[in-house]
Amino acid sequence: MKKKSSIFTATHGVMTTEVGVISGELELRTTCDDDGTLTLAITYVGAEEWYTLPGEDYRLHDPRDHEVVHRMLATVLERS
């Protein structure tokens, strides 16, 4: 299992499953298992509670794509 983390500022907010839209300085964490299962989580920087992004059953065809997918998600969420 590999984890990636990025900090960014979401001025327009990011939708979460648990609490709706959050905005400000956020941290995105993606975890990829050896079979390609991808887990997405987000939190306020420095907070302990993590939230999930909407959707389910994320899977990469090739786990080696994890780094690229993580960077792409962080970039898109920052622009949202």
Nearest to 59 by CA among 39, 29, 80: 39
CB atoms within 10 A of CB 26: 23
Which residues face 52 on adjacent strands? 41
Given a cut of 90, is residue 51 above it in pLDDT?
Answer: yes
pLDDT in tens, 16-44: 999 999 999 999 999 999 999 999 999 99
| Whole-number average pLDDT of the chain | 95
Confidence bin at 9 (pLDDT 50/70/90): very high
Confidence bin at 80 (pLDDT 50/70/90): low
